[in-house]
Structures are given as structure tokens and as C-alpha cells.
A and B are shown apart, each in its own frame.
Chain A
Amino acid sequence: MTGIDAAELRRRVTELLAAHDPATTDRTAFLQARFDAGLAWVHFPAGLGGLDAPRALQAVVDAELEAAGAPDNDPRRIGIGLGMAAPTILRYGTEEQKRRFLRPLWLGEEVWCQLFSEPGAGSDLAALATRAVRDSRGDWVVDGQKVWTSSAHLARWAILIARTDPDVPKHRGITYFVCDMTAPGVEVRPLRQITGEAEFNEVFLTGVRIPDNHRLGEVGDGWRVAQTTLMNERVAIGGGRVPREGGLIGLVAETWRERPELRRHALHQRLLELWAEAEAARLAGERLRQQLVAGHPGPEGSAMKLAFARLNQEISGLEVELLAEDGLLYDDWTMRRPEHVDFAGREAGYRYLRAKGNSIEGGTSEVLLNIVAERVLGLPSEPRTDKDIPWKELAR
């Protein structure tokens, strides 16, 4: 860690802005200059978009640049690259891999996706069946099917885990790769959801060749490498302060205020209970944020996803019921490819249906409850029958 502090970062931002006035500089050129000045992600190493500075100081840079009206790299569009691929490449990548991948990833020139989940490996991800077999030249040939892949249709690269040794227990025979999404044998099909649209894809891999220098980490060590990816998925939550009524409850509250003819006593009781619960969850999120700022992250992060999944489902269910005859309508069943989830931009029926995914995506609520019970409360794990059995002998 270098001795770079907030004042030094502000000085460097001022320098960057002086040399590349955002008002007159092309967006791409500005982002390139920002990356090369080490102000992309300050906790990354020098030369790779960072300055070896404490991660918490990124907020200083972001605030200064936002105040100056500088363009950003549209982080929502490249969330998987920024939040999951980049930290994993940084930790396990070779020097050559870091130089090749990190800059275009941060600039948004190359979109990334994640080929982890499979039809037969959801909560039990380590049971995955996609095979990677080494050929005579030492490269890998991959066959299998992945699912729930957002951005696959936009992506240039994927982080991929595949089984390289079926003869050892499931956690030990996995290897982690970077997969070229333009390679022959990669087929991306939209996966239409209950909302009518397709945020995600199915990805079929048929004889896809991956050179060995696109492997991340050791052969057979892919499960450990994937933990870095998945841990960073949870770190990405948090962020800024949410105002009161900032979530779905605000939309129902507005309807309640504006349409007195819809009000019913039983709905009023439920609305008030949910309003208080949503406010409590908001405060818990704010408390978690303050803990992070103070440098004492608590285990409460896993609580937030569980709480919001349940609240979003109950609130959107109440909203449809409250709307009564309008609750029978749906705004649009057209098959579309949205770039991100837009709860507020759609109608109540969409919110009700899309919220069902909140307790499934990124770890089901049932699995998260196990994690809370075992890692936070320290309760003993269930007896397991799969730990020491070779993968190929597991029930499927």
C-alpha cells in the first residue's frame, strides 16, 4: 500500500481534469486518460488502472469526478466485468492476462458475462457438469450448457468454470477459464422469463476451444478461484444512501394517496405493516453502510438481500391486489432484451412477477438462510453425503 491519501487523490483528479477537460474531451479518450492516471479503481496496482491506494478512497475520486461532470464507464452495463471478473483476474491472473483484460474491461470496450450456473447445478453449483478436456496441444475443449447468463448476447468474454476431473469429489475437479464468446461452438439463446422479456440467456458450448493461457489459477483449483468471484458479488451490494420510500413501497404509497377509492381496511393494515418493515430494512441498510464506512463490515449484508427479496414480493403482491380491476392488466408481454431491471419504469404486474426472482437470483433465500445460520450464528451444518464421493458417482 502506498502512502496515497484523499488529498493526494484530489490533486491527481484535478490534474486529470486540467489535462482532459470533460467538456471538450471525447468520452473514450477521457476514460482512457483516467485509467492511465490510476484513477479507475484506485485499489488496483499502478499500471492497471489503480494506485495501490485503500479501496475506500475510490469514493473520493468518484465524487470529485461526478462534481466535475466527467463521463463514467456506465458501470451498470458492465457490472459483471467490474464486480466479478476483474477482482478474480487481479487475484489469480498472470501478468499477461491482467494486461490483456483489465483495461478494455474497465473502459467498457469489452463486456463480460459469467458462465457458472447450469440446468443441473443451481444452488449446488459445485455439482456442475460442463466438461473441459485437454487436447494433445495442451489446450482445452469445452462441452456443456450454462444458464441464467445475463449479458451473454453482448459479451466478448466470459468467466467460466468447468469440470476437468470427474474422478475426484466435486469441489476438487473444477477449473476456472476465460472463454471467448466469439469462439466457434458458443451459442447464445435468449431465455424468456415469466415477465415476457429476456434479461438472461442459455449458453450452449459445443467443442469450444480455450487456449491454456486463458486458464485462471491452477487446474483443479477452480472452486477456490470462484469463491473470489462470488464473494465480490456480495461486496458489490451496499452503495449509497436510500431515501425513505425509495423502494417499491414508495410506489404503493403513492397509489394509496392518489386513489382513495381503492382503500380497504384490511389492505390498510397490511400497507402500514409493510411500510414499517420497509423503513426498518432501509435503516438496517443504512446502518450496514455506516459500518462499512467505519471499517467494521458486519455480517448484516446477507440479511439485506433476504429482507428485500421478501419485502419486494409482499409489497408488489399488495400493489396488484390494491389496484383491483387494473391489477388484471399487464403493461407489455413483448419479448424484449432489457439491459437492466427497471422496477419503477414498469407497471405493478411486472413488479409482482419480476420480484419473484429476487429470492432466487444470486443465491436462493433458502441457501442464504443456511449461510446465515451456519456462518453468522455458528449452527452446525447438515450431515453431508457428497463431500468425499467422486463427482461421477453423485446422484443426478
Chain B
Amino acid sequence: MTVEVTGAAAVGERASDPDLLYSEAEEDLRAAVRSLLAARAEPAAILGRIETGDPYDPALWRALATDMGTAGLLVPEKLGGQGASAREAAVVLEELGRAAVPAPYLTSAVLVVETLLGCEPEASEEPEAPEVARLLASFASGRTVGALALPLPTGPGSALACEVRVAADGTLEGGARRVADAAGAHTLLIPARGPEGVELYAVDTSAAGVTVSPLVSLDLTRPLADVAFAGVRGRRLAGPGVAEAAVRRALLAGAGLLASEQLGVAEWCLSETVRHMGERKQFNRPVGSFQALKHRLARLWLDIVSARATARYAADALASGSADAPVAVAVAQSACSKAAVRAAEECVQLHGGIGMTWEHPAHLYLKRAKADEIALGTPSHHREILAELVNLPSPTAG
């Protein structure tokens, strides 16, 4: 089944008039993703896979990414995608967060795809364009899974910690630490320092000289690996200037859309905790009737109301190419990181003893929330960026 999605903002909205609601098409997409995940990614199934070293369910990815077409939401139709926007991808991520699903959506369908979209796939005079377009189409179909070879904590607006260099013979040397979803990827996009600046290469993980070393990750649903390259011959996708701008574009989109995943994490934690507290009885009454606990849940709900508005604004700003997107993303990361971590921590505490068990899925959300807080820039990183963007300089600046 392919879900029909239409382009960016609702009809009649001006670019300067952000649409913070969900359109009917977006709600349809949400319902389709949610029902797929309810059937195929229930917590017991996820708990059963996360310790196998391969947490991904390939059949689920095929259904989600290929059959429903969600891997190509950000890619224009003429390049083999669905021609939707960040608004729709945000809805998919919300649902993936709500179910704490191990799936390489953020890494392959957002970070990798956005990097390639920044590499001018339609500039026919560029020699790299056909390869960029070929890769883009294969990631958009979901048949190939990719990862961007940068440390997961790299946020938009920071200097690229690029530890791969292009040797004199054109091969790649070096590596990248803490790369998300690298172990399951077919292809890596590698920013590499050349003589005139950062260039971008594509390398298959099966190629000679590539080593992918899985790490023991805090969040087992988004496993990390260190990757190393020794004399690896890659396909060049972009030269200096273009490559760095493409990576920065991807990091901004990734951070902005991660906010929606965090929103989904927070929403599950709140609704599951509310459900539990309505059922669990102590002292001859539901524990949810105690005011001290009720207020904690009401405050979480408040955080989520604000977080949802910031996540929607970030998605809309990315979709419309708004000049305000960097501010929108920094605000969304600040709000949604906090909302997700707080909701997951409260979820564990308010479940009491059961919240500390491996059997209950609360820990999946706590680990995802805490890892997401660091991914694509910590909240403090995003607030430092904000300080520059909105002219609130630090005491030492200037």
C-alpha cells in the first residue's frame, strides 16, 4: 500500500504563515503507520530482537519504507520519491518514536536523503549528478539503507568533526566514531577532508578496507558503531563547498525532525503512565487520584503541548524552506529533548517497581529519550546556537 500524500503546507497558507496543525493527509499517513506498527512492532517483539545484534526487522522496514513509500517522502517524484515534505516525514517519526521502533528511518530516510538532496542531483553539468540521483532513488525506495558517517552527537551549526581524509591517491583514510545505524547500512555517505575542503563520498559497507565495529549502545533500538576506512576507494558525490553545505542541511533537517520522534516518545510515556495510574490501586483508590501524582502528569502534558507546537513549527519551517528554520529547529530541540527525557523518567518513577523491570517497555523509551537528547546536538548545544541566531550573546562574546 502506498499512502497518498500531498505537498507541504495546507492550501491557502502563506509561506510566512506557519501551519502548526496536522492536515487530513498527514492524519491518514499517521493512522497507516500506527496500525502497521501496532501489528508488527509491539513492545514484546522489540524486546525480543534488541539483544540479537540485529534489532531491525527487515520485513517491517520493507512494509514501512518500501510498500508504504515513507522512505521517499522527502524526495521529489521525478527523483524517485513521494514528493512530500518534512511535515509528513515528521508524522512518521512521531509514530516511530511512539512505538520506540528500531528502524533506520532518521538515519537513512532523513539524514542520508537530505545530504544527497543537497548535492545537486539535478545539476546535469556536474559529473557526480548521475551517481547522486541513482543513490537517491535507491534510498527513496527503501531497498537500500544508508548511514551518514558522522558521530551521532554532531549538531547543526557546529564545526564538522571530520576524521576521514582523502589521501593523495584519492582513497579514504580514517574513520568516524559513534555512527548511528552503521551496522545495518548497505552504503555509507562519508564526509572526507580533501586538499581544498570537505568532500563527500559514497562507500558500500561491503567494500574492501571498510571496518564497521558495533558498540554496546545505551539505546539498543538505535545501535551505534565505529567505522574505519583504510585505503578505501569511494564514489565522489560532491566537492568542497557543496559537500559541507549538504551535510549542514542534513543535520538541520535531522535535528528538526528528531524533535518529532522525541514528541512521539513523550506522548507514549504520558499516555501509558496515565493508563497505568488509572488502573493501579493502592490505599484502596487508584493512584492516579492522588493530587501529588496528578499534578506531575498534568505538568508533563503541559510540556508536551508546547513541545508539539515547536516540533510542528520546525517541520513546517523545514518544509517551506523558511529562513527561520535554524531558530525553529533550535527551539524544537530544546523543548522536545526535555519533554521526552522528563516524560520517560516520570514514566519509570510513576510505574513504581514494574518500571524498573526489563519486561516492561518503559526502559526502551527512557534509553531512547536519553540518547535522543545527545543525538544531533544536546539541548545546551542548541541553546548556544540560539544565542547567536537571536542575538543574545554570551558574556564572553564580543
Interface, chain A (partner B; CB < 8 A): 253, 256-257, 260, 263-265, 268-269, 271-273, 275-277, 279-281, 283-284, 286-287, 290-291, 294, 300, 303, 306-307, 366, 369-370, 372-374, 376-383
Contact = CB atoms under 8 A, between A and B. Distances in A.
B305 A300 contact: yes
B305 A290 contact: no
Contact of B301 (A269, A276, A303): A303
Given A275-B392, A276-B331, 10 more contacts: A272-B384, A279-B331, A284-B305, A284-B309, A287-B308, A287-B309, A303-B306, A366-B295, A373-B294, A379-B289
Contacts of B384: 272
B309 A286 contact: yes
B339 to A, nearest CB: 9
Provide the main secondary structure of the chain A interface. helix
Contacts of B286: 379-380
A281 B295 CA distance: 19
B395 to A, nearest CB: 4
Interface of B: 18-21, 270, 274, 277-278, 285-286, 288-291, 294-295, 297-299, 301-302, 305-310, 312-313, 327, 330-331, 334-335, 380, 383-384, 386-387, 390-395, 398
Contacts of A377: 270, 274, 294, 297-298, 301
Given A276-B331, A377-B274, A265 B291 contact: no
A379 B294 contact: yes
Contacts of B285: 380, 383
A284 B332 CA distance: 12
B334 to A, nearest CB: 4
Contact of B289 (A283, A366, A380): A380
Given A286-B309, A303-B305, A380-B286, A265 B383 contact: no
Contacts of B395: 260, 263-265, 268
B386 A280 contact: no
Nearest to A282: B309
A307 B384 CA distance: 23
Nearest to B306: A280
Given A281-B306, A303-B302, A378-B274, A253 B334 contact: no
A280 B301 CA distance: 14
Contact of B291 (A283, A290, A291, A382): A382
Per CB-CB distance, the 5 closest pairs between chain A and chain B, nearest first, are A373-B294, A283-B309, A287-B20, A263-B395, A372-B298
A383 B294 CA distance: 13
Given A280-B306, A284-B305, A377-B274, A370 B20 contact: no
Given A272-B386, A273-B383, A372-B302, A283 B334 contact: no
A287 B277 contact: no
A258 B73 CA distance: 45
Given A369-B299, A379-B297, A280 B310 contact: yes
A272 B298 contact: no
A379 B302 contact: no
B302 A287 contact: no
A378 to B, nearest CB: 7
B392 A369 contact: no
Nearest to B390: A275
Contacts of B274: 377-379
A272 B387 contact: yes
Contact of A374 (B19, B294, B307, B398): B294
Contacts of B295: 366, 369-370, 373
B294 A277 contact: no
B297 A373 contact: yes
B298 to A, nearest CB: 4
A380 B297 CA distance: 12
A383 B286 CA distance: 10
Contacts of A265: 394-395
5 contacts: A268-B387, A283-B312, A287-B20, A303-B301, A303-B306
Contacts of A256: 392
Identify which of A263, A294, A303, A377 gathers the most chain B CB atoms within 10 Å of its CB. A377
B277 A280 contact: no
B335 A276 contact: yes
Nearest to B274: A377
A260 B394 CA distance: 9
Contact of B20 (A281, A283, A378, A383): A283
B253 to A, nearest CB: 19
A290 B9 CA distance: 13
Nearest to A264: B395
Given A263-B394, A265-B394, A272-B392, A376 B383 contact: no
A276 B306 CA distance: 11
B386 A275 contact: yes
Contact of A290 (B21, B278, B290): B21
Contacts of B309: 280, 283-284, 286-287
Nearest to A283: B309
B279 to A, nearest CB: 10
Contacts of A269: 380, 383
B292 to A, nearest CB: 11
A286 B173 CA distance: 50
